[in-house]
């Protein structure tokens, strides 16, 4: 019997663990540690270790409850802040490079599975499908797609390792290339840069000053997240399964994404100023912690082969993106930011944007949000293509 078995006690333990992780992250002495190993790794692996040590159970009613009710709520709250109107005004070169980066992830995943599938487990397509969600927008999409298509918990942990090592390794390469952006722009035939226009547009549209959280706004967030999430969960049960990818829960994820995007055009989008995405991220990390608690630490032995797959995958992504960027005569600023907006999402895209052009972090953030929107749909597409390839 585990030390903690009651579902409520397990919930309190996991919340406390997440709180401890973020408390330590804020300490000056720990900043370099978390630069190398981001919080998402700790949130997944510490619960896994807890279960291995007999502190928490491998199975609990809490785990299925969090999956069913908090994931839809998290997606809804995270999409409230999507400024779709601003994204459409980024211009053809920015949008073109962003879509090229996404296309590179789709093709890279399918090609790498076709090349290495014989040396991977049978359900590799599921784990790689979840990883495609992360590499088109971030961990939110990874959790959403992975949960929808039923990735086993151990394989999910391996994908997090690949996401971190290969993803952050690629970010380092992208930052290194910034020293040569003038030469690369000249080689690409860049005659005029849209950077100044982008900067002016972002400056005029950036109105996201935070506001103090009040009680009725918190209630609205909970009603929107849990209420509409429950509605989507029930509605998904009436829709037909489309193979192994778009199941009833897959429909739930698609429904909440559509509803969340729709609400981003309404006054409810103002809830983001009071922290709607923070509440959404809390729900998401709690789900990630429960997935980790169910996983087996021994599955990490599968990681080396998947790391090779990840490197090839990123290489295809880079090839497609640089080729399209050259055709569009897009500056390296947009190519690099588009790549990181896909691979890293809203967290690291602003960092890369600032490295290439000072003061352009908001452009990276906006492109990261775009990746977050694209990730669910193109992630499902990638997973479906991979499922077909796995049958060959």
pLDDT tens string, the chain, 392 residues long: the values are 889 999 999 999 999 999 999 999 999 998 888 877 888 889 988 998 998 889 999 889 999 899 899 989 988 888 887 777 777 777 788 889 999 999 999 999 999 999 998 999 999 999 999 999 889 977 778 888 888 888 888 888 889 888 888 888 888 888 888 888 888 888 888 765 555 565 555 555 544 567 888 898 999 999 999 999 999 999 998 998 777 777 888 888 889 888 988 998 899 988 988 888 889 889 988 988 998 888 767 667 778 899 999 999 999 999 999 999 889 888 888 899 899 889 987 767 877 887 887 766 667 777 888 887 888 889 999 999 999 999 87
* 222 within domain boundaries: no
What total of structural domains would you count in the chain? 1
d(CA 364, CA 355): 11
- Alpha-carbon distance of 353 to 232, in angstroms, equals 36
37 found inside a domain: yes
Q: Tell whether 138 is covered by a domain.
A: yes
Cα 122 off chain centre by: 24
In which domain, by residue range, is 359 found?
A: 7-207+286-391
d(CA 142, CA 163): 10
Q: Does 48 fall in a domain? A: yes
Residue 1 lies in a domain: no
Identify the sign of the CA torsion 253, 257, 258, 259: positive
Residues ≥6 apart with Cβ < 8 Å to 102? 136, 342, 371, 374, 378
| Residue 230 is assigned to a structural domain of this protein | no
Decide: helix, strand or coil at residue 242.
strand
Q: Residue 366 in contact with residue 90, Cβ under 8 Å?
A: yes
Q: Is position 351 within any domain?
A: yes
**Within a domain: residue 45?**
yes
Taking the mean position of all CA atoms in its chain, how far away is CA 48? 21
């Amino acid at each position: 019997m585990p030390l903690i078995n009651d579902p409520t006690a397990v919930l309190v333990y996991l919340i406390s663990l997440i709180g401890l992780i973020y408390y330590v992250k804020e300490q000056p002495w720990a900043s370099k540690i978390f630069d190398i190993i981001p919080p998402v790794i700790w949130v997944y692996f510490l619960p896994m270790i807890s279960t291995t040590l007999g502190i928490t159970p491998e199975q609990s009613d809490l785990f299925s409850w969090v999956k069913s009710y908090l994931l839809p709520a998290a997606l809804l709250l995270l999409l409230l802040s999507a400024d779709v109107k601003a994204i459409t005004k980024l211009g053809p070169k920015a949008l073109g490079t962003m879509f090229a980066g996404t296309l590179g992830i789709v093709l890279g995943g399918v090609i790498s599975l076709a090349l290495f599938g014989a040396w991977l487990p049978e359900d590799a397509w599921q784990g790689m499908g979840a990883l495609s969600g992360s590499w088109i927008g971030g961990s939110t999409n990874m959790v959403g797609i992975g949960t929808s298509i039923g990735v086993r918990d151990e394989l999910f942990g391996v994908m997090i390792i690949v996401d971190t090592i290969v993803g952050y390794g690629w970010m380092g390469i992208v930052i290194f290339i910034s020293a040569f952006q003038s030469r690369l722009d000249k080689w690409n035939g860049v005659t005029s840069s849209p950077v100044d226009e982008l900067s002016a547009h972002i400056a005029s549209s950036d109105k996201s000053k935070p506001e103090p959280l009040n009680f009725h706004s918190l209630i609205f967030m909970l009603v929107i997240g849990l209420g509409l999430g429950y509605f989507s969960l029930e509605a998904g049960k009436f829709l037909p399964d489309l193979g192994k990818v778009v199941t009833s829960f897959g429909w739930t994820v698609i429904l909440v994404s559509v509803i969340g995007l729709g609400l981003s055009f309404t006054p409810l989008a103002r809830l983001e100023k009071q922290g709607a995405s923070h509440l959404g991220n809390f729900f998401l990390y709690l789900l990630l912690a429960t997935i980790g608690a169910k996983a087996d630490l021994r599955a990490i032995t599968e990681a080396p082969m998947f790391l090779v797959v990840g490197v090839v995958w990123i290489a295809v992504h880079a090839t497609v993106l640089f080729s399209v960027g050259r055709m569009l005569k897009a500056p390296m600023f947009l190519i690099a930011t588009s790549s990181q907006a896909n691979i890293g999402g809203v967290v690291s895209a602003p960092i890369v944007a600032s490295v290439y052009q000072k003061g352009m972090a908001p452009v990276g953030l906006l492109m990261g949000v775009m990746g977050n929107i694209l990730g669910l749909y193109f992630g499902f597409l990638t997973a479906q293509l991979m499922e077909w390839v796995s049958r060959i």
